Every structure is written in C-alpha cells, then in structure tokens.
A and B are shown apart, each in its own frame.
Chain A
Amino acid sequence: MKPRIAVVEDNPDNRFLVQALLEDLYELSQFETGTEAIECLAQEQPDLILLDLSLPDMSGVDVFRWIRGSPGLGEVPVIALTAHAMTGDREKFLAEGFNDYVTKPIVDETILLESIARWLKSPE
C-alpha cells in the first residue's frame, strides 16, 4: 500500500503540480483551506503532511500548531511548502517544529521527493 500524503494548498496550479509529481508514488488527499484540513485530517490519518504556509483563511503555522496538538497527528511529519523564501525563514520554521521546509516554485523536484522519502522513513 502506498504511503498517504495530505496536501494543504490553496493554489490550484500548485496542487496540480504536486499531484503530477507525487501521484505515482503516494496516495494523495488534497485540502484547499486550513479549515478544511482541520476538519478532515484527524480522520484521514495521513503518513505525512505537505502544508502551504499562505492559506486564505488561516496561517499555515496555526494549522501546524493544531496538527501538533491533535491526538494521532502529533507525530506525523509536516513539511512546510512555501513561496516565502526570505532569509532566515528556513531556520524560523524549523524552530517552530516543522520537519522540513521546501520552497516554491518547485524547480528541482528531487528536493521535495527526497524530503518526503526521508521523513516517511524516519519520522522523528
């Protein structure tokens, strides 16, 4: 059975691109807003979450904090997916507790694929 990845991303083009890159390898579920993700993630119980930090209804960091505080989701690896590539951001989000930080637009898909593979293998 393929590992399950939840993608929380509001941009249709980013969702489509991530789907094209990952759908052969993983079982994907996609959420367009933080609210939708919060309503469904506990039931979904994904093996890993890709979380856009700029969502329309709430910040990705707030969604992340909810995930970490949720029974059954607290240990699930969460990779931040963001176009906010400012100096120091990576350190800031890793300090927040995200497992990894991948920047958009995706130019080198191996960065995303390797990060996912690494965290699915050793989610600690």
Chain B
Amino acid sequence: MNGENMKELPLVDLSQMERLNEWGGPDLKRKMIELFLTHASERLGEIKDGVAGGDREKAETGAHTLKSSAGNVGAARVQFLARDAEALAEVGKLGEVEALIPALDEEFEAACGALRSVLEEGEE
C-alpha cells in the first residue's frame, strides 16, 4: 500500500472498537481512547524531535510506540504512517521521515477528532 491508498483505510477502524467493547466493555474502550488522546501526541513529538535533532533512535522509538498505540484504538492511517516512519528511521532515512510528518500531523488530528466523537457517542 502506498501513500495514495492509505486514504482508503478508515480513520478509526470500528472493528477494533468492537473488540475493545468485547474485551472490557465501554469502560475499556473509553480508557484506551483517553490514553491515546493523552499520550500519543508526545510520541508524535518524539518523531519530530528525533528528525530535528538528527536522532535516529528517538524518531524510531517515537514511531514504534505511536504505531502500537494507534493500532490499539484502530487509528489505521496513523498506524500505517507510523509504521513507515519507524522503518525509515530504523535505516537512518530521517529526511524521508520528515517528509511524512505533514501527513502524520493531518491524520493524527483527524483520528483524534474521530476518537473524541466515539467518546461523546458513548456518553449519550
């Protein structure tokens, strides 16, 4: 899959939301979304700091953790981009990681918005 059809992935994969519901009910789903909304921006910040400071390992760690956290809440596009960023950082291609950042920012904001809507729906 390339960057073009990354957009074919859902903003939030509802099947992962259903899994969380199945595993731990609405409480688990809510808590996992809250953890993502609280911590994931720090991971995105680590990728940016790593790129800005030429710190390959920092960028890789940030991308690795963001990939995992995005997967936990079904943020499929963020997970996809973070996986790419991790693989590029692993081989030191920080310039290419930098080129992914605008898309990561955009998809991250969109995913956070969609996840907030899921939270609000749960409160209705």
B7 contacts the other chain (CB 8 A): no
8 nearest CB pairs, A to B = A105-B71, A20-B24, A83-B68, A13-B35, A20-B28, A105-B72, A13-B72, A104-B68
Complex Cα distance, B18 from A107, in Å, reads: 11
> Considering the chains assembled together, what is the distance between the CA atoms of A54 and B72 in angstroms?
16
Name the residue of chain B whose CB is nearest to the CB of A10.
B65
Q: Which residues of B contact A106 (CB under 8 A)?
A: 72
5 contacts between A and B (CB under 8 A): A13-B73, A16-B28, A17-B72, A20-B24, A105-B79
**Neighbour of B61 across the interface among A17, A54, A104, CB < 8 A:** A54
Query: With an 8 A cutoff between CB atoms, is A21 at the interface?
Result: yes
Q: Which residues of B contact A12 (CB under 8 A)?
A: 35, 39
Check A54 against B35 for contact (C-beta < 8 Å). Answer: no
**Interface size for chain B: under 10, 10 to 19, 20 to 34, or 35 or more residues?**
20 to 34
For chain A residues 13-35, which have a beta carbon within 8 Å of chain B? 13-14, 16-17, 20-21
Tell whether, in the assembled complex, residue A17 and residue B32 are in contact, meaning their CB atoms are under 8 Å apart: yes
- Please, how many angstroms separate the alpha-carbon atoms of A90 and B81 in the complex? 23
For residue A109, CB closer than 8 A to chain B, the reply is yes
Chain B residues with Cβ below 8 Å from A20 are 23-24, 28
Pick the residue among B16, B24, B68 that contacts A11 (CB under 8 A): B68
Q: How far is the CB of A28 from chain B (nearest CB, A)?
A: 14
Report the bound CA distance from A16 to B32 in whole Å: 8
A residues sitting closer than 8 Å to B (CB atoms) are 11-14, 16-17, 20-21, 54, 56, 83-84, 104-107, 109
Complex Cα spacing A36 to B90, Å: 27
* Separation of A54 and B86 alpha carbons in the complex (Å): 13
The minimal Cβ–Cβ distance linking B62 to chain A, given in whole angstroms, is 11
Instruction: Tell me if B93 counts as interface (CB < 8 A to partner A).
Output: no
Cβ-closest chain A residue relative to B38: A12
Name the A residues within 8 Å of B35 (CB-CB). Answer: 12-13, 16
The one of A54, A84, A104 in contact with B71, judged by C-beta atoms closer than 8 angstroms, is: A104
A11 near B71: Cβ-Cβ < 8 Å: no
B67 near A: Cβ within 8 Å? yes
- Is the CB–CB distance between B64 and A84 below 8 Å? yes
Shortest CB–CB separation between residue B121 and chain A, in angstroms? 20
Residue contact B68 to A105, C-beta cutoff 8 Å? yes
Q: Are B39 and A54 in contact (CB under 8 A)?
A: no
